Structure 1
C-alpha cells in the first residue's frame, strides 16, 4: 500500500521514498506525493531521481491500481540501469502543472457549491484541465443569465480568501457529521472506508481525494466561458482561471 503524501499536504514538491515494485516501466513506491489520474483530475508529472547514482527517470503517467500508486517512468539516459525494488529515490513534482490543477479543483468546489445552494444541482461529471475545466450538472431549468450571477457569487467567495482545511476520518464519522458526503450525483464509493474531507471554511465540507489550495484567494478568479445543453436535466459549464 502506497502512503499518500498529498492528502494532508498538497504543497509537498519533493519527497524521499523507496521503490517496492517494478513492472514494465511502472514503479510503485512505499510513499508518494504524485497525484494519480482520478475523479476528473489529471495525473501529476515530474521525475524520480535515484539516490545511488543520480539517474533521472521522467514520470509520464501516474495511476492508482488497488492500493498502489503506480508511476510510469522513462529513463532520461537510456544507458542508466533500470529502477529496481529497494532503490532509494527522490520524487520531484512538476509544480507548475500541479498548482494549476489545485487552483482548478478548488475553484470547482466553490462554483459547484454556489450552484448546488442556489439551484439544488448536483455534479454529474467533471474534467479538470490546465487551460479550462468543465462541470456537468443535473439541472432542469437552464437559465443562462443565472450563470452570470453564479460566476459573481463564486468570485466573491474567492475574493473573501476562505481557508481550506483537510481531515482524514472514518466513513462512519464522516456520515455522522455530514448531511451528504459529496456534491457528486453518483455519491461516494462504498468501498472507501477512510474519508478525506476538504473544508472551505464557512462554505462547504465534503469528501474529496484531489489536490487543493490552502486558501480560496489563490484561485484569483474564474470566468465561465461556455454553457451547453447536453440533454434532459444535464447542463455543461466550462470555466477558465483569471490570472
Structure 2
C-alpha cells in the first residue's frame, strides 16, 4: 500500500508539479495529489494545465513506483504544470467509500467476523449520483438482515462520527482481529513497513488505501438498493447515495 500525497494532504486538490518523464499522451510528475485507484475505488478525475494548454487526465498507469498520468490528448509536455483534482468526483468517492466501511463494520459485528471478498464504486459527479457494492463471505446469511441495516447505517451517518487515519506496523495490524478485513488479499505494506488504517471512531478500524470523509456526517444518506447471492458464500450489498 503506497503512501500517496492524497493521504498526506487530503484537502490538496490543486498544486504545481514538474514533469520528470514524458511520452506522447502521458507524464510522470514530481508529485501528484491524484488518487491512482485501487481496492475497488476508481482513479480520481482531473486535469493537467501547462503554459499553452490544458487537457483531462483519463487514468493512471503504475510502473513500479512511478505513476504515469494518461492524458486525453497525445501531447508531449515538459517543465512546470498544474494538476487539478476534480473535487466533485473525489467527494463522491469519499462518501461511497466511507459508506462501504460502515456496511462492512456492521456486517463484521452482526455476522461473526464476515470478511470482504470484493468491492467496487462508481459515480457521476455531474448528476451527483453514485453507487457502490461490497461482497461479503456470508454463507447461509439471511439477506433480510442485511437489508435492515439501512436504518443503522444512516443513524451512524447522523451521529457525525470522526474518521481518522494512521499507520500501524504490519505485524501489529495482522495480530489485531478484523484490522485486515479482506478474505483473499493482504494489503501491501508501505515503504516503512507500516499499513494505513482507517478508523471510524467507536465503530471500526481496518486497513485501507482509499480516500474517505473526515466524519460520517459529511455524507448524504445511503440506501441499500439490492442484496443478492453471488455463489454459495458471497452476499453482495449494493448501496446508493440518496437523491440531492
> How many residues in Structure 1 have an aligned counterpart in Structure 2?
233
Q: TM-score, normalised by structure 2?
A: 0.87
Q: Determine the structure 2 residue equivalent to 1:39.
A: 39
Alpha-carbon distance change, 18 to 189 in structure 1, aligned in 2, over 3 angstroms: same
Deviations 1:80-137 (Å, cap 9, x if unpaired)?
x6213xx111110111111101100010001111011101311101111112111111
Q: Determine the structure 1 residue equivalent to 2:20.
A: 20
Given that 1:163 and 1:201 are in contact with CA atoms closer than 8 Å, whether structure 2 keeps it comes out as: yes
Instruction: Supply the distance in 2 between the matched residues of 1:4 and 1:69 (Cα, whole angstroms).
Output: 11
Structure 1, unpaired ranges of 5+: none
Instruction: Supply the distance in 2 between the matched residues of 1:29 and 1:128 (Cα, whole angstroms).
Output: 26
Could you say what secondary structure the match of 2:147 adopts?
Answer: helix
Q: TM-score, normalised by structure 1?
A: 0.88
Alpha-carbon distance change, 169 to 57 in structure 1, aligned in 2, over 3 angstroms: farther
Structure 2, unpaired ranges of 5+: 124-129
Given that 1:124 and 1:186 are in contact with CA atoms closer than 8 Å, whether structure 2 keeps it comes out as: yes
Does 1:55 find its partner at 2:53? Answer: yes
More moved, 195-204 vs 178-187? 178-187
Instruction: Supply the distance in 1 between the matched residues of 2:81 and 2:27 (Cα, whole angstroms).
Output: 11
Matches within 5 A, 1:11-160: 11-50=11-50, 53-75=51-73, 82-84=76-78, 87-120=79-112, 121-130=114-123, 131-160=130-159
Instruction: Supply the distance in 2 between the matched residues of 1:190 and 1:35 (Cα, whole angstroms).
Output: 17
Instruction: Supply the distance in 2 between the matched residues of 1:48 and 1:218 (Cα, whole angstroms).
Output: 28
Could you say what secondary structure the match of 1:69 adopts?
Answer: strand
